[in-house]
Amino acid sequence: MFVIKRTKDNPILVPTRDHYWEAHSTFNMSTVKKGRSIYGLYRAMSGKDILRSPEQISTIGIGKSSDGLHFESRKQFIEPKEEWERYGCEDPRVTFFEGRYYIFYTALSKFPFEAEGI
């Protein structure tokens, strides 16, 4: 068992212009502990760059932390590759169950967004 406390150091994850795929925003993190490390999967919004894409795209990033507050080694983990996720991969959730890690996320296949495209 563990205790979760709200920190005064919010936000714990901020966008970085060093990575185009998370230059605009980072949010909706889901964490899981593996050994002494905490991994955070999060939604990342790309910056606006019409030379790359006319839209901002959501992808999923992952970072590693030893204290749950400072996430290092951030990298893009899941990005749209299939037709059914072409407009973004969002809001990951991760859980460890019976020896395996399971990740669920929302995929967007239509723009403008509507229920049947989720």
Render pLDDT for 4-60 as a digit per residue (tens, 0 to 9): 778 888 888 999 988 989 999 999 999 999 999 999 999 999 887 666 666 788 999
Q: Would residue 35 count as lying in a domain?
A: yes
Q: Would residue 103 count as lying in a domain?
A: yes
Q: Would residue 110 count as lying in a domain?
A: yes
pTM across the whole model? 0.86
Q: Would residue 12 count as lying in a domain?
A: no
Nearest to 20 by CA among 92, 76, 65: 76
Residue 118 tokens, joined: 């989720």
Residue 97 tokens, joined: 């169950």
Q: Would residue 105 count as lying in a domain?
A: yes
Q: Would residue 4 count as lying in a domain?
A: no
Domain count, the chain: 1
Domain of residue 101: give its range: 20-117
Separation of first and last alpha carbons in the chain = 34
CA separation for the pair 11, 99 (Å, rounded) = 31
Q: Would residue 96 count as lying in a domain?
A: yes
